[in-house]
Amino acid sequence: MSCIKFSPDNEYLAVAYGAPSCEILIYSVKNHFKNEEKLRGSTSKVTHMDFSRDGKTLMCNNSRFELLFFDLNTKPAKLHKKLDNLKDEKWETFTCILGWQV
């Protein structure tokens, strides 16, 4: 495990881990931490994560200094392709070392 974060409404828990697949697991808190989804797209270990205030977007940084955004509104969740739409996004926390505000 490399990073862990609860969604703003505490309904979900995001857990990132590195080797071998660099995935983020999304667990449902209300369903006894049942694994809901695997987020793929990071090319290296995820080091930081933040949820948007509405809980619909997950921002991630990894050890290759990539900035990734996952759309949690879609099932399955997908990487955001249009990043300029996220410039003014409000974040519940901002622990990522890369982002529009940095």
Task: List the chain domain ranges.
Answer: 3-86
The predicted structure's pLDDT at residue 52: 95
Share of the chain above pLDDT 70, in %: 97
pLDDT at 19 over 70: no
Please give the Cα distance from 81 to 28 (Å, whole number): 26
Return the higher-pLDDT residue of 31 and 19: 31
Between strands 78-79 and 67-71, the pairing is antiparallel
pLDDT tens digit string along 72-99? 988 888 888 777 788 889 999 999 998 8
Could you tell me what percent of the chain has a pLDDT over 90?
A: 62
| Cβ(26)–Cβ(39) below 8 Å | yes
**By three-state DSSP, how is residue 50 classified?**
strand
CA distances to 26, 30, 32, 50, 93 from 59, in Å: 13, 23, 24, 5, 10
The Cα 40–Cα 78 span in angstroms is 8
CA dist., res. 22 & res. 44, Å (int): 6
